[in-house]
């Protein structure tokens, strides 16, 4: 999945969708770290606030939790859609 810089959906939502798909397909398994904000910035070519918003959306949806100073981790059992 890629993001469309000129698409109708906000970039942070597009990035969150890509990360969500990676969680669902096991690329990021439970209890493992997802990429850092800096890695998201690098991979998608977005600003740090956009990367932060994407990760926060995953937190809000109950897919990941953050550990201050450590990173964001996939929860043991993500909520079912």
The domains of the chain are located at 11-74
Query: How confident is the model at residue 38, as a pLDDT?
Result: 96
The string of pLDDT tens digits covering residues 33-56 is 999 999 999 999 999 999 999 999
pTM for the model: 0.90
Whole-angstrom distance, CA of residue 79 vs CA of residue 61: 8
11-74 in CATH: which number? 1.10.10.10
DSSP string over 15-75: HHHHHHHHHHTTSS-TTSBPPPHHHHHHHHT--HHHHHHHHHHHHHTTSEEEETTTEEEE-
């Amino acid at each position: 999945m890629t993001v469309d810089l000129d698409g109708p959906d906000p970039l942070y939502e597009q990035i969150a969708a890509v990360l969500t798909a990676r969680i669902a397909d096991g690329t990021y398994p439970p209890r493992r770290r997802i990429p850092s904000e800096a890695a998201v910035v690098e991979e998608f070519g977005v600003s740090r606030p956009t990367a932060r918003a994407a990760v926060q959306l995953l937190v809000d949806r109950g897919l990941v939790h953050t550990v201050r100073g450590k990173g964001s981790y996939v929860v043991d059992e993500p909520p079912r859609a």
